[in-house]
């Protein structure tokens, strides 16, 4: 069983799993009031919920139990892992990869080819429960080809530079320059991407394709 609400467009050769809901009207909206578009060759796995007002490109893929709130713009070749949550008004560009159990809040931008590891938490509110919190809510910008290691936390309004790497378990409180490796709590620059070595000796630099 699956539920497809009104004003939903799903591209050809897409697979919709059991117990999936697509086009769910957000609070204050009627069924079909917001158009929902999902591209070609997509795979929406069981128990995922996609709210109305989303525009999603071709070759999109979810794991199981993914929740995507309303009014997001999601590019081509994007995948979102099991039990991840995407809030509203998020921009996810082409080829971005979000692993399982990640949280992506409102007003976050993920640039093309960015990579979000499992258990990553992104935040968008400087002072939770402040009466004016929603007026200054702003998520981070994760730069092109940037990689966020597992279980990291990214604070609001942060900019993660192009090609940069955030080490697993880090808490990022300041902007990260392009081509940098940061780690720790709070995260600090420890080297450049070009200085990373492959411990297995398989390649000179594990990210040499992006340096």
The tens place of each residue's pLDDT in the chain, 211 residues long, gives: 899 999 999 999 999 999 999 999 999 999 999 999 999 999 999 999 999 999 999 999 999 999 999 999 999 999 999 999 999 999 999 999 999 999 999 999 999 999 999 999 999 999 999 999 889 999 999 999 999 999 999 999 999 999 999 999 999 999 999 999 999 999 999 999 999 988 888 888 888 766 5
Q: Would you name the residues annotated as active-site residues?
A: 127
Between CA 36 and CA 41 the distance in angstroms is 16
Residue 190's CATH number: 2.160.10.10
Q: How many domains does the chain have?
A: 1
CB atoms within 10 A of CB 120: 26
Distance CA 203, CA 173 (A): 32
- pLDDT at 23 (0 to 100): 98
- pLDDT at position 211 is 54
- Determine if the pTM surpasses 0.85: yes
Per the structure, the complete domain to which residue 32 belongs is given by: 3-210
């Amino acid at each position: 069983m699956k539920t497809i609400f009104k004003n939903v467009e799903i591209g050809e050769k897409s697979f919709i799993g059991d117990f999936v809901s697509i086009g769910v009207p957000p609070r204050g909206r009627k069924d079909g009031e917001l158009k929902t578009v999902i591209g070609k060759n997509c795979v929406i796995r069981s128990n995922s919920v996609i709210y109305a007002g989303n525009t999603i490109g071709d070759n999109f893929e979810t794991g199981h139990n993914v929740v995507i709130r309303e009014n997001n713009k999601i590019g081509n070749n994007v995948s979102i892992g099991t039990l991840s949550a995407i809030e509203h008004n998020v921009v996810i560009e082409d080829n971005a990869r979000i692993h399982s159990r990640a949280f992506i809040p409102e007003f976050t931008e993920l640039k093309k080819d960015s990579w979000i590891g499992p258990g990553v938490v992104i935040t968008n509110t400087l002072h939770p429960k402040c009466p004016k919190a929603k007026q200054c809510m702003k998520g981070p910008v994760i730069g092109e080809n940037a990689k966020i290691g597992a279980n990291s936390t990214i604070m609001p309004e942060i900019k993660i530079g192009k090609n940069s790497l955030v080490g697993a378990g880090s808490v990022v409180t300041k902007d990260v320059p392009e081509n940098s490796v940061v780690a720790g709590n709070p995260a600090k620059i420890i080297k450049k991407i070009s200085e990373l070595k492959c411990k297995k000796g398989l390649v000179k630099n594990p990210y040499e394709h992006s340096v």
